[in-house]
């Protein structure tokens, strides 16, 4: 191990403390899947009917499968939804080899799809998960039917100013220093910081949603590998940004064959809105959804809009019958009406 590497923190059972259970929303279920070198937690919903095509959702840095809990119910008339906790995040323990690179995470997704036999899937990715999903779609086109990328972490020459602290986590010793400097921060303070960074309008977070996020933050901070997973994954993003040639993410984006939906937020503080047009040119069969008021997690801020755009992607790709599209549109519409009535 070189002097610039963080020591790997093993997640053996004798060092893991007892933590509060991961939150499971109504209609969801969790299961653990053991694969060579990794154990993944999978969050799923019962589809509206049998025979729907499968979908897989991949979260971003510091996130979990819970990030998709608002979108998955809106897609239940269209797809059979599952969301992964990437290794070291959510309720998934660290990978045995400590590999948190974009390639390592992509390998975990591919291993799951190969083992489950669910491919080809409608693949969704946010932020880091967008970079991971791009790599999966490029190297294993047989596993991907369509690709939906929400604020994907693709290389930028001029990185967003607010993304710099995340990139700094990749430097040796910074995660340890940050842990010491913030040891007195409460879970509430941390969650307020995250929502201010990730949401276009943090005021959209409901009191219940904020309480759930605080509970999840308290759980994560008890995990001995939390900062290790964050730091190594941040380093993985930085390293992926520096790769050129056929392994570069933009080059791989050009190789993606699947019809692609790109979602960018005008108030995103982590992935620049100006990258939307470059992405639209790079992915050969793409459509772009621009949300001027959204931040970094549009599937949490505007799930109905994202669900409608996904339905349109399926229609354009010939992946959706007219009847299924009508039912799905009614589902989204009824949820919008219910939300408006409650506001």
**Strand boundaries in the chain, DSSP class E:** 28-35, 38-45, 54-58, 80-85, 121-126, 144-150, 260-265, 286-291
In this prediction, residue 247 carries a pLDDT of: 85
User: What is the pLDDT of the chain when averaged over all its residues?
Assistant: 85
Burial of residue 198, with CB atoms counted within 10 A of its CB: 0-12 exposed, 13-18 middle, 19 or more buried:
buried
Q: Tell whether the model's pLDDT for residue 174 goes beyond 90.
A: no
The reported pLDDT for the residue numbered 238 is 86
Selection from 39, 22, 8, 34 nearest residue 225 by Cα: 8
Residue that wins the pLDDT comparison between 307 and 4: 307
For 220-253, how does the pLDDT look when each residue is reduced to its tens digit (9 = 90+)?
Answer: 989 999 988 988 898 898 888 887 778 899 999 9
Q: Are 66 and 90 in contact (CB under 8 A)?
A: yes
Alpha carbons 206 and 221: distance in angstroms, whole number: 22
pLDDT score of 165 more than 70: no
pLDDT for the residue 203: 92
What DSSP line would sit under 26-68, residue for residue? TTEEEEEEEETTEEEEEEEE--SSTTPPEEEEE--TT--GGGG
pLDDT at 184 over 90: no
pLDDT, one tens digit per residue, over 134-153 is: 999 999 999 999 999 999 99
Q: In this structure, are residues 58 and 126 in contact, taking their beta carbons and an 8 Å threshold?
A: yes
71-117: per-residue pLDDT in tens? 999 999 999 999 999 999 999 999 999 999 999 999 999 999 999 99
pLDDT at 214 over 80: yes
Q: 154: helix, coil or strand? A: coil
């Amino acid at each position: 191990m070189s002097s610039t590497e963080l020591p790997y923190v093993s997640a053996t059972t004798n060092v893991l403390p007892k933590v509060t259970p991961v939150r499971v929303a109504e209609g969801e279920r969790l299961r653990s899947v053991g694969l060579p070198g990794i154990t993944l937690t999978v969050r799923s919903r019962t589809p509206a009917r049998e025979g729907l095509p499968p979908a897989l959702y991949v979260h971003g840095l510091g996130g979990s499968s819970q990030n998709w809990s608002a979108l998955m119910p809106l897609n239940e008339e269209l797809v059979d939804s599952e969301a992964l906790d990437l290794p070291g995040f959510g309720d998934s323990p660290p990978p045995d080899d400590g590999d948190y690179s974009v390639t390592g995470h992509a390998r975990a997704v591919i291993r799951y799809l190969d083992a489950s036999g669910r491919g080809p899937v409608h693949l969704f990715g946010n932020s880091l998960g967008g970079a991971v999903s791009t790599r999966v779609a490029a190297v294993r086109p047989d596993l991907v039917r369509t690709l939906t990328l929400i604020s994907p972490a693709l290389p930028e020459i001029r990185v967003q100013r607010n993304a710099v602290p995340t990139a700094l986590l990749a430097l040796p010793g910074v995660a340890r220093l940050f842990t010491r400097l913030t040891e007195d921060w409460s879970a509430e303070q941390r969650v307020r910081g995250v929502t201010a960074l990730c949401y276009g309008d943090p005021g959209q977070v409901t009191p219940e949603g904020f309480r759930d996020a605080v509970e999840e933050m308290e759980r994560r901070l008890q995990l001995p590998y939390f900062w290790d997973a964050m730091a190594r994954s941040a380093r993985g993003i930085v390293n992926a940004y520096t790769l050129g040639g056929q392994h570069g993410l933009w080059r791989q984006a050009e190789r993606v064959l699947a019809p692609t939906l790109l979602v960018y937020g005008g108030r995103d503080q982590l992935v620049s809105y100006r990258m939307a047009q470059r992405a639209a040119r790079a992915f050969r069969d793409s459509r772009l959804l621009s949300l001027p008021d959204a931040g970094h997690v549009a599937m949490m801020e505007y799930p109905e809009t994202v669900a409608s755009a996904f339905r349109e992607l399926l229609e354009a790709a010939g992946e959706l019958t007219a009847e299924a599209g009508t039912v799905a549109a009614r589902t989204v519409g009824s949820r919008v009406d219910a939300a408006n009535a409650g506001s």
